Amino acid sequence: MEQKVAALLSLALSVITDRLLTIVCLIMTFSLSTWIMNNPDWVRAATFGWFSVFVFLPVLYKERNRDKAISKPMPTQRDGEES
């Protein structure tokens, strides 16, 4: 029973961590965009573009790998077969 609870807590923390990482990236991108709106400049816009790409690519990669791991079917063992 304790192993099931530990596994469930581990799964919940990994989901929360992924979502929290996405939320933190959104907040940082929003704050940088407000910085750009304060005094528009091409350098600030370029900084915003590079920052957004380099922040969201790892997050998207991690979420895509997590989605593949969740949707991947587990191999089943037939009766009488050894693995």
pLDDT greater at residue 16 or residue 82: 16
User: Which of 17-21, 55-59, 65-69 holds the top average pLDDT?
Assistant: 55-59
Average pLDDT of the chain? Answer: 79
Distance of alpha carbon 4 from alpha carbon 63, whole angstroms: 24
- The arithmetic mean of pLDDT across residues 21-40, rounded, is 89
**For residue 80, pLDDT beyond 70:** no
pLDDT for the residue numbered 50: 93
Q: Name the percent of the chain lying above pLDDT 70.
A: 77
Using only C-alpha atoms, what is the Rg of the chain? Answer: 20
Domains of the chain, residue spans: 2-71
